[in-house]
Amino acid sequence: MVLPRRTLVACLILASLLIAQTDLTGFWVFRVPTGDGNFRDLFFEWKQTGETLTGAALTDSRKLPISRGTVKNGKVHFTIVRVAENRTVTSTYDGTLDGKRVQMTAVRPDETVHGVFERSTPEAAAPPARLPLPPLHDVPDNGLVRTPPLGWNSWNKFAGRVDDKTVREMADAMVASGMKAAGYVYVNIDDTWEGQRDAKGNITTNRKFPDMKALADYVHSKGLKIGIYSSPGPKTCAGYEGSYGHEQQDANTYAAWGFDYLKYDWCSASRIYKDEEMQPVYQKMGDALLKTGRPIVFSLCQYGRNDVWKWGAKVGGNLWRTTGDIGDHWKSMDEIGFRQIAIAPFAKPGHWNDPDMLEVGNGGMTPDEYRTHMSLWALLAAPLLAGNDLRSMSAETRAMLVNAEVIAIDQDRAAQPVQLVSEKGSSEVLMRPLGDHSVAVGLFNRGSSAVEMSVSLNGKTHIRDLWEHRDVPAAGDGLKASVPAHGVVLLRLK
């Protein structure tokens, strides 16, 4: 049917008047389908003045202000700028008014998402009611991971793309690559596996993980162990269902599924509790895991806030993050790794400082930088959790990850702390006493040009280069070595 010209003009005038009269001021929720049956919700507070749009995105810990916001001819546009890992990240939002909703596309550095802005309320954006915290007590030691855990985690490479098939194939690759034989055992699923809760409050999985029990059984059949992820807050970092108010129920579910490891990420708990309340919050899950009767490694992920290394073991923690998220580039790894030396004495068998997962093989650093990464984590007695695609790694990456001589430093049962022996410009010498009375020594060049470095042997006569896999002849009471830019020479002196 063709409308008369006069009617068509009237409709267009009416539509333009409706658009002009639309006021977007108020609370909104940006609902983005995740593709697995869930939605990721991000709340906004908007204020429209004429064609200008201001306001903020309401995150767990702060408000991120809108900039360059406009509403014009039915089109909505704005940007949000935030700082992450010492870099500026800009997200651009472009949408179209669609009745009472706004169809929106958000372009971020690492993804483009499509969703819908719908009217909401301050109450919907508010956190749930605060639950009381238990009195403090020491959670009994679960007796696990007497040496730092070795394994793989899905986040660094796959983030929200992890699924059942990928986890199975990673378990297969861990065996086929020789990583299992080298001591790697944990296959850990990070965020985005979660579904909704059922009528009884039990956590369920989303479409990417159709049968968690069967998946755990498969990983176990390979002689490996399997890990899972949650948060003490109402939502995880990726906006999925957290364990808030369901700690024992979730712990029981993980145990029933057959899980051996839990990473517990602070995230939205910050909307309810203060940093100084972290200890009783984590204690709740530490108690819950112990009560299941299943041996489950407890990994605290709260980014090193509130001096976690002083109380992590008291809540049943086997390892605790000591830093923010690592990035696959030199600056991030360098800054994180060398900051760990001061707190090294807090680590002990069963309770480890965790400077975050390995980036080895993900492509953002040079081979020399990855060897520095692996060497530094080994000297720190840090967990070695690979974060690359084990199915397609190069021979060079595989050789780094399965280097038995480097792994032996990390796994030394004496658990003596690493020490800074000398520092000159960009050159640092680290030393760690080992249980057999030998000494691990790392000559690190944090600078951008190769340097000559030296170390005193202090009576040690046998020198082993752990990356070259060869003995090095001593020359008097010292040793000199050329260390490449951002590189390392890792030695064992006997």
What is the longest distance spanned by two Cα atoms in the chain?
101
The answer to whether the beta carbons of residues 338 and 376 sit under 8 Å apart is yes
Q: State the catalytic residue, choosing from 172, 275, 325, 465.
A: 325
Amino acid identity of residue 395, one-letter, is A
**Torsion over CA: 49, 50, 54, 58 (sign):** positive
Closest CA to 191 of 268, 247, 113: 268
| Bridge pairing between strands 261-265 and 225-230 | parallel
Q: Would you mind telling me the total number of residues written for the chain in this entry?
A: 494
Q: From CA 298, how far away is CA 144, in angstroms rounded?
A: 9
**Torsion over CA: 63, 67, 72, 75 (sign):** negative
* 335, 428, 486 from 447: Cα distances, Å: 13, 10, 6
Closest CA to 231 of 184, 281, 280, 197: 281
* 81, 123, 297 from 264: Cα distances, Å: 28, 26, 11
User: 292: burial class by Cβ within 10 Å (0-12, 13-18, 19+)?
Assistant: middle
Residue 151 tokens, joined: 């394994």
Measure the CA dihedral 377/382/383/386, to 10°: -10
Which alpha helices (H) appear in 402-486, and where do they start and end?
404-410
265 belongs to the catalytic site: yes
What is the DSSP code (8-state) at residue 193? -
Q: State the catalytic residue, choosing from 163, 191, 260, 265.
A: 265
164 belongs to the catalytic site: no
**Segment holding 433, helix H or strand E:** strand 427-433
The answer to whether the beta carbons of residues 79 and 88 sit under 8 Å apart is no
* 128, 232, 357, 457 from 301: Cα distances, Å: 22, 10, 11, 39
Active-site positions read: 265, 325
